[in-house]
Structure 1
Amino acid sequence: MTVIPRHAVPLNDWPAADQVMWQYVIAEGDIFEGQGPGANWAPATIDNTRKAYGYWLHWLGINCLLSAPVHHPLDRITPERIRAYIEDMQDNTAPLTRFVYILDLLRFAQVGAPDREWDWFKRIKNRLWARAIPSRDKASLIRNSRELFELGLDLMNEVSGVTCRYNPLQAEIYYRDGLLIAILASRPVRLKNLTAIQIGRHLIRIDNIYWLVFEAGEVKNRRHIEVPIPEILSSYIDDYLSHHRPRLLQGTLSNRLWTSRFGGNLSCNSVRRQVKLHTEEAFGKPITPHLFRDCAATSIAIHDPEHVWITTNILGHNTLATSQKYYDQSRMLEAGRHYQFTIADLHRTLREEARSPYKSA
Structure 2
Amino acid sequence: MTKQAFPPLPVHQWPARDRSLWQGARQPVGPFDDDAGFAAGWRPPTIKMSERGYGMWLGWLATTGQLDPLTPPCNRVTWELIRAFITEYSVGRAETTIAGAVRGIAYVLRACAPPDGVDWLTTLAHRMTNTAKPSRPKLPRMVRIGSIILLSDRLMDIGLEKLRVGRRSGAPIYRDGLLIGLLIHRPMRRRNLTDLRIGHNLFVDDFGIRITIPRKETKKGVPFDGYVPKRLEEATFTYLDRVRPVLLKNDIPDEGWLWVGRRGRQVTADQISTRVTRIMREHFGRDLSPHLFRDCAATEVALERPELIGITKHVLGHMTLASSQKFYNQATSFTAFSRHADVIRKLRGEGS
TM class, shorter-length: 0.7 to 0.9
Preserved contact between residue 42 and residue 221 of structure 1 (Cα < 8 Å): no
Tell me which amino acid in the other structure corresponds to 2:175. Answer: R
Q: Is 2:190 the counterpart of 1:206? A: no
Preserved contact between residue 24 and residue 37 of structure 2 (Cα < 8 Å): yes
> Cα deviations across residues 97-126 of structure 1 (Å, max 9, x unaligned)?
111111221233345446776537745874
**1:232-311 → structure 2 map (5 Å cutoff):** 232-251=231-250, 252-254=252-254, 255-311=256-312
Counterpart Cα distance in 2 of 1:235 and 1:50: 45
Preserved contact between residue 16 and residue 69 of structure 2 (Cα < 8 Å): no
SS at match of 1:227: strand
Relative to structure 1, the CA distance from residue 115 to residue 261 in structure 2 (aligned partners, 3 Å threshold; closer, same or farther) is closer
Tell me which amino acid in the other structure corresponds to 1:272. Answer: S
**1:85-100 → structure 2 map (5 Å cutoff):** 85-90=85-90, 93-100=93-100
> Cα deviations across residues 174-210 of structure 1 (Å, max 9, x unaligned)?
0110011001010010001111111111221123621
Residue 220 of structure 1: aligned partner: 219
Tell me which amino acid in the other structure corresponds to 1:181. Answer: I
Residue 57 of structure 1: aligned partner: 58
Residue 230 of structure 1: aligned partner: 229
Relative to structure 1, the CA distance from residue 247 to residue 124 in structure 2 (aligned partners, 3 Å threshold; closer, same or farther) is closer
> Cα deviations across residues 35-54 of structure 1 (Å, max 9, x unaligned)?
44445544433342233222
Counterpart Cα distance in 1 of 2:116 and 2:269: 39
Preserved contact between residue 9 and residue 58 of structure 1 (Cα < 8 Å): no
**1:1-361 → structure 2 map (5 Å cutoff):** 3-10=4-11, 12-28=12-28, 33-66=34-67, 68-90=68-90, 93-113=93-113, 118-119=119-120, 122-123=123-124, 126=127, 130=131, 132-160=132-160, 162=162, 169-207=168-206, 209-251=208-250, 252-254=252-254, 255-338=256-339, 341=342
SS at match of 1:265: coil
Counterpart Cα distance in 1 of 2:343 and 2:51: 52
Q: Which runs of 5+ in 1 are unaligned?
A: 352-361
Q: Which moved further from structure 2: 216-225 or 31-40?
A: 31-40
Tell me which amino acid in the other structure corresponds to 2:52. Answer: K
Relative to structure 1, the CA distance from residue 69 to residue 233 in structure 2 (aligned partners, 3 Å threshold; closer, same or farther) is closer
Preserved contact between residue 79 and residue 121 of structure 1 (Cα < 8 Å): no
Relative to structure 1, the CA distance from residue 110 to residue 236 in structure 2 (aligned partners, 3 Å threshold; closer, same or farther) is same
Relative to structure 1, the CA distance from residue 14 to residue 121 in structure 2 (aligned partners, 3 Å threshold; closer, same or farther) is same
| Deviation of 1:298 (Å) | 0.5
Structural RMSD (CA): 3.2
Preserved contact between residue 73 and residue 109 of structure 2 (Cα < 8 Å): no
Q: Which runs of 5+ in 2 are unaligned?
A: none
Counterpart Cα distance in 2 of 1:322 and 1:172: 37
Tell me which amino acid in the other structure corresponds to 1:314. Answer: V
SS at match of 1:213: strand
Preserved contact between residue 89 and residue 98 of structure 1 (Cα < 8 Å): yes
Counterpart Cα distance in 2 of 1:160 and 1:36: 50
Preserved contact between residue 196 and residue 202 of structure 2 (Cα < 8 Å): yes
Tell me which amino acid in the other structure corresponds to 1:277. Answer: R
Relative to structure 1, the CA distance from residue 233 to residue 118 in structure 2 (aligned partners, 3 Å threshold; closer, same or farther) is closer
Counterpart Cα distance in 2 of 1:92 and 1:340: 31
Counterpart Cα distance in 2 of 1:92 and 1:330: 30
Preserved contact between residue 142 and residue 286 of structure 2 (Cα < 8 Å): no
Relative to structure 1, the CA distance from residue 125 to residue 6 in structure 2 (aligned partners, 3 Å threshold; closer, same or farther) is farther
Counterpart Cα distance in 1 of 2:174 and 2:348: 43
> Cα deviations across residues 189-248 of structure 1 (Å, max 9, x unaligned)?
000111111111122112362121111111111111111111121221122112221111
Preserved contact between residue 190 and residue 291 of structure 2 (Cα < 8 Å): yes
SS at match of 1:302: helix
Preserved contact between residue 162 and residue 168 of structure 2 (Cα < 8 Å): no
Identity %: 31
> Cα deviations across residues 27-73 of structure 1 (Å, max 9, x unaligned)?
5558975444445544433342233222322333444444x353312
Aligned length, in residue pairs? 343
> Cα deviations across residues 107-165 of structure 1 (Å, max 9, x unaligned)?
333454467765377458746865x43221211122222221221111001225559xx
> Cα deviations across residues 314-333 of structure 1 (Å, max 9, x unaligned)?
11111111111101111221
